Amino acid sequence: MSAKLFLASSNAAKLGEFRALAAAAGDVPCWEVEAIPGFETLPAFHEEAPTFAENALGKALHYSRLVAGLVFADDSGLVVPSLGGAPGVHSSRYAGERATNRERVEKLLAALREKQGSGRAAHFVCVITLARGGRALALVSDRVDGRILETRRGAGGFVYDPVFFYEPSQKTFAELLAPEKNEQSHRGRAFRKLLAFLASSAF
C-alpha cells in the first residue's frame, strides 16, 4: 500500500531525487512522491524570507492551502561562513535570476580566490516542511560539511556540487554516484527524518 506526498516545486531534478530517496527507504507504507497537479497554474510563492526554514515553511503552507493532501517543501543551499553565509538562501540566485549554473560557480570561486584552509569551509543545508490544509505538521533539517575546491570536478549533481568536496568520500558531490550522494547529502538526510516522522505518525 502506498500514500502520496506532493512536492511543492517545479524542479524535475529535485522531484527525481526525492522519488529515489523514497524508493530507497523501503518504509511501510511506501510513500510516493508526486508533483503537485497543475503546479505551474497555481499562484506562485515567492521565497523572500531570510532563512531556509521560513522559506520552506511558507512554501509548504501556501501550496497546502491550494491542493488536498500532504504537501512538503524544501529550501536548501550552500553556506560559506567566510563569505558571511553566502550564497545561503540566495544560492539559486547568487549570480542573478537568469544566471547559469556555471556563472553561479564562477562567482563563488571568484569570491573565494584569496581564501585558503578554513576560509574555504562550507556546508549544504536542507530544511523540509510538511503541511496539510494550511497547517504545518513537521519541520526537519540537516546539513553536510565540506570545503570548496578551486576548480570543478565531476559532471553530476546540482549547481555547486562540482566544487563541493566531501572529505569522507574524497570526492566532490558531482563525482558521487546518485545512490552515494542520496545517502550522504543534506537533502537525503533531511528527507529520511521526514520519513521517520511519517512512520511514527497516523496519516
- Portion of the chain with pLDDT greater than 90, in percent: 79
Look at the alpha carbons of 46, 37, 57, 127 in this order and tell me if their dihedral is positive or negative. negative
pLDDT, residue 24, reads 82
The amino acid sitting at 18 is: F
Span 167-174, mean pLDDT?
A: 96
For 32, 55, 67, the CA distances from 6, given in Å and listed in that order, are 8, 17, 9
- What does the pLDDT look like over 38-70, one tens digit per residue? 999 999 999 899 999 999 999 999 999 999 999
pLDDT, residue 203, reads 63
pLDDT, residue 25, reads 76
- What does the pLDDT look like over 6-31, one tens digit per residue? 999 988 888 999 999 998 876 555 78
The grid coordinates listed for 128 are 523540509
The grid coordinates listed for 33 are 512522491
Distance, first Cα to last Cα, the chain: 13
Active-site choice (75, 142, 145, 161): 75
Model confidence at 189: pLDDT above 60: yes
pLDDT, residue 26, reads 66
Catalytic residue list contains 161: no
Q: Which domain holds residue 175?
A: 2-199
Nearest-angstrom CA–CA distance, 37 and 21: 21
pTM of the predicted model, to two decimals? 0.93
Total domains, the chain: 1
Enumerate residues 6+ apart whose C-beta is below 8 A from 62.
Answer: 8, 43, 45
- Looking at every residue in the chain, the average pLDDT score rounds to 93
We report the CATH number of the domain holding residue 175 as 3.90.950.10
Of 7-21, 59-73, 102-116, 135-149, the least confident: 7-21
Nearest-angstrom CA–CA distance, 91 and 87: 5
Model confidence at 2: pLDDT above 90: no
